[in-house]
Amino acid sequence: MEASGSTRPAVLLVLLFSLLMSLAAATEVSGKAAAAYVVYLGDHSRRDGVLSPEEASRRAADAHRDLLGAVLGDREKAREAIFYSYTKHINGFAATLEPGDAAEIAKYPGVVSVFPNRGRKLQTTRSWQFMRLERNGDVPPWSAWETARYGEDTIIGNLDSGVWPESKSFGEGEMGPIPDDWKGICQNEHDATFHCNSKLIGARYFNKGYEAAAGKPVDDALKTPRDENGHGTHTLSTAGGAAVRGAAAFGYGGGTARGGAPRARVAAYRVCFRPINGSECFDADVLAGFEAAIADGVHVISASVGGDATDYLDDAVAIGSLHAVKAGVTVVCSASNSGPDPGTVTNVAPWILTVAASSTDREFPAFAVFNRTRIQGRSLSERWLHGRGFYVIINGAEATAPGSTQKDAQACLLGSLDPEKARGKIVVCVRGAITRVEKGEAVRRAGGAAMILVNDEVSGNDLHADPHVLPAVHISYDDGLILSDYIKNSNVPSGFVIKGKTILGIRPAPVMADFSSQGPNTVNPEILKPDITAPGMSVIAAWTGAAAPTDRPYDLRRVAFNVLSGTSMSCPHVSGIAGLIKTLHRDWSPAAIKSAIMTSASDLDAERNPIMNSSHAAATPFSYGAGHVFPNRALDPGLVYDMSIVDYLDFLCALGYNATAMRTFNSGSFVCPTAAMRLQDLNYPSITAHGLHAGTTAIVRRRVRNVGLPGTYTATVVKEPEGVHVVVTPAMLVFREAGEEKEFDVTFTISNPAPVTGYTFGAMVWSDGSHQVRSPLVVKIMGNE
For the segment 278-294, what is each residue's pLDDT rounded down to a tens digit?
889 999 999 999 999 99
Query: Cβ-count burial of 461 within 10 angstroms (0-12 exposed, 13-18 middle, 19+ buried)?
Result: middle
The 3-state secondary structure of 211-273 reads: HHHHCCCCCHHHCCCECCCCHHHHHHHHHHCCCEEEEEECCEEEEEECCCCCCCEEEEEECEE
**By C-alpha distance, which of 651, 639, 609, 679 is closest to 764?**
639
Q: Which residues make Cβ contacts (< 8 Å) with residue 189, sequence separation at least 6? A: 223
Torsion, Cα 398 400 401 403, to 10 degrees, reads -150
CA–CA dist 731, 640 (Å, integer): 17
What count of Cα atoms within 13 Å lies in the side-chain half-sphere of residue 36? 23
**In terms of residues, how long is the chain?**
785
Q: Average pLDDT of 733-754?
A: 96
Q: Average pLDDT of 35-40?
A: 96
Q: Please give the class, per CATH, of domain 35-116.
A: alpha beta
Cα 507 off chain centre by: 25
Q: Are strands 353-358 and 252-257 parallel, antiparallel or unpaired?
A: unpaired
- Percentage, residues of the chain above pLDDT 70: 94
pLDDT beyond 70 at 28? no
CB atoms within 10 A of CB 705: 18
The pLDDT-based confidence of 3 (bands split at 50, 70, 90) is very low
Q: What radius of gyration, in Å, describes the C-alpha atoms of the chain?
A: 27
* DSSP 8-state code for residue 732: E
Cα 231 off chain centre by: 13
Q: Average pLDDT of 220-228?
A: 95
What count of Cα atoms within 13 Å lies in the side-chain half-sphere of residue 152? 11
pLDDT beyond 60 at 462? yes
Q: Average pLDDT of 534-557?
A: 93
pLDDT beyond 90 at 18? no
**By C-alpha distance, which of 326, 266, 333 is closest to 302?**
333
CA–CA dist 424, 561 (Å, integer): 31
Amino acid in position 136: N
**pLDDT averaged over the chain?**
91
Q: Average pLDDT of 249-273?
A: 93
Give yes or no for a contact between 201 and 236, defined as CB atoms under 8 angstroms apart: no
Amino acid in position 305: V
Can you count the helices (H) and strands (E) in the chain? 20, 35
pLDDT beyond 90 at 10? no
3-state helix, strand, coil split of the chain in percent (to 5) is: 25, 30, 45
CA–CA dist 120, 308 (Å, integer): 8
Bridge partners, 202 (sequence order): 267
Bridge partners, 750 (sequence order): 724
Helices in 73-196 by DSSP H: which ranges? Answer: 75-81, 99-105, 127-130, 144-147
Bridge partners, 610 (sequence order): 604
CB atoms within 10 A of CB 68: 23
pLDDT single digits (tens) 477-522? 999 999 999 999 999 999 999 987 888 888 999 999 999 999 999 9
Give the strands of the sheet with 687-692, arranged side by side.
Answer: 687-692, 772-781, 758-767, 711-719, 732-735
Q: Please give the class, per CATH, of domain 127-361+510-635.
A: alpha beta
Cα maximum dimension of the chain? 88
Residue range 365-499, CATH number: 3.50.30.30
- Residue ranges per structural domain of the chain: 35-116, 127-361+510-635, 365-499, 639-643+682-781
Which pLDDT score is estimated for 709? 96
Which pLDDT score is estimated for 307? 85
Residue range 639-643+682-781, CATH number: 2.60.40.2310
CA–CA dist 319, 290 (Å, integer): 9
Bridge partners, 42 (sequence order): 91
Give yes or no for a contact between 765 and 718, defined as CB atoms under 8 angstroms apart: yes
**By C-alpha distance, which of 348, 261, 310, 359 is closest to 625?**
348
The pLDDT-based confidence of 17 (bands split at 50, 70, 90) is very low
Q: Average pLDDT of 520-542?
A: 96
Cα 355 off chain centre by: 6
pLDDT single digits (tens) 164-197? 999 999 999 889 999 999 999 999 999 999 999 9
Q: Give the residue numbers marked as catalytic.
A: 160, 231, 568
CA–CA dist 269, 285 (Å, integer): 10
CA–CA dist 94, 100 (Å, integer): 16
